[in-house]
Amino acid sequence: MYLEQIHSPSDIKGYTPAQRCALAAEMRAALITRASSVGGHIGPNLGVIEATIALHTVFDAPTDKIVYDVSHQSYPHKMLTGRVEAYLVEKEYDEVSGYTNPEESPHDFFNVGHTSTSISLATGLAKARDLAGRHENIIAFIGDGSISGGEALEGLNVAGEMRSNLIIILNDNDWSISENHGGMYEMLRRLRETNGTAADNLFRAMGLDYRYVADGNDTEALIAAFAAVKDSQKPVVIHIHTQKGKGLSFAEDDPEDWHRHAPFHTESGAVKHPSSPDPCLAATVDFVLTEAKRNPNFVYLSA
């Protein structure tokens, strides 16, 4: 077993493609087993295992700094940065949080939990690096559900005029928690359909370099893409197309429900301890549906 022998990212640097493939399978199995017991953000994490292996193969964390947006997809990162026992040993399951936490590891730089913050945080780290005369890589890892947020766009705006290293990895799995809608996502769709060559590319328009990886679950393709931009002296977006919930059929078939899930039976996907319906939520739903049927001008706004 490879996974139980990993104590830091340096342990995987010399892996062969076959070993990386085996490691990904072990990580996926461990995540599914743990989530079946304690629940958590299973869908997002299953989709970024290969990207995480590639990141820690190419870059030299924690000198090179990786900032996860929301950080709910940081479980594989934690597995490779000295916290693997919390994913392999049942009595250790509660020893790590569901998000990055600097108190847990020097590989985590921020307590996060909110969306769309990573690019702005990364630009700050990059500017601090430049002022100090250092040269490490700064990487923001952000999902397509977060990239349309206001702070993410502010971060892109700042990044577009930088003339030093900043790598933005856009994890595009076609989903946020639910389906994505809006102009940003029409652009991402066109980029996917044209293998990244569509003319209407917001990132290039804002002054960033851009690369597309069609199979964001191909570890070797990701390693090649990341290695090509390591130590680059201009901000770049690496747009990777991943599958949310990869390797767990229930999560692949229903990405929204399996974004975050309660403990479940691995054979059927059924929840182990079904909860009673929230009476407040049920009453709200009943009211909204009743009013919508009664009044054609009724509009419901959800915060």
Q: What is the pLDDT of residue 151?
A: 97
Q: Evaluate whether 59 touches 138 at the Cβ level (below 8 Å).
A: no
Q: SS3 of 204, please? A: helix
Dist. CA 115–CA 271, nearest whole Å: 27
Q: Evaluate whether 13 touches 41 at the Cβ level (below 8 Å).
A: no
Dist. CA 166–CA 157, nearest whole Å: 13
Q: Evaluate whether 152 touches 160 at the Cβ level (below 8 Å).
A: no
Dist. CA 116–CA 39, nearest whole Å: 24
Residue whose C-alpha is closest to residue 167's, from 88, 111, 215, 239 = 239
The highest-level CATH class for domain 3-274 is alpha beta
Q: Evaluate whether 209 touches 235 at the Cβ level (below 8 Å).
A: yes
For residue 237, the surrounding DSSP H or E stretch is: strand 236-241
Q: Which two tokens stand for residue 57?
A: 């193969």
In the sheet with 209-213, reading across from the earlier edge strand, the strands are 65-68, 138-143, 167-172, 236-241, 209-213
Per-residue pLDDT 10s for the chain (303 aa) are 899 999 999 999 999 999 999 999 999 999 999 999 999 999 999 999 999 999 999 999 999 999 999 999 999 999 999 999 999 999 999 999 999 999 999 999 999 999 999 999 999 999 999 999 999 999 999 999 999 999 999 999 999 999 999 999 999 998 666 677 899 999 999 999 999 999 999 999 999 999 999 999 999 999 999 999 999 999 999 999 999 999 999 999 998 889 999 999 999 999 998 877 778 888 888 999 999 999 999 998 876
pTM of the predicted model as reported, rounded to 2 decimal places: 0.92
Q: What is the pLDDT of residue 179?
A: 76
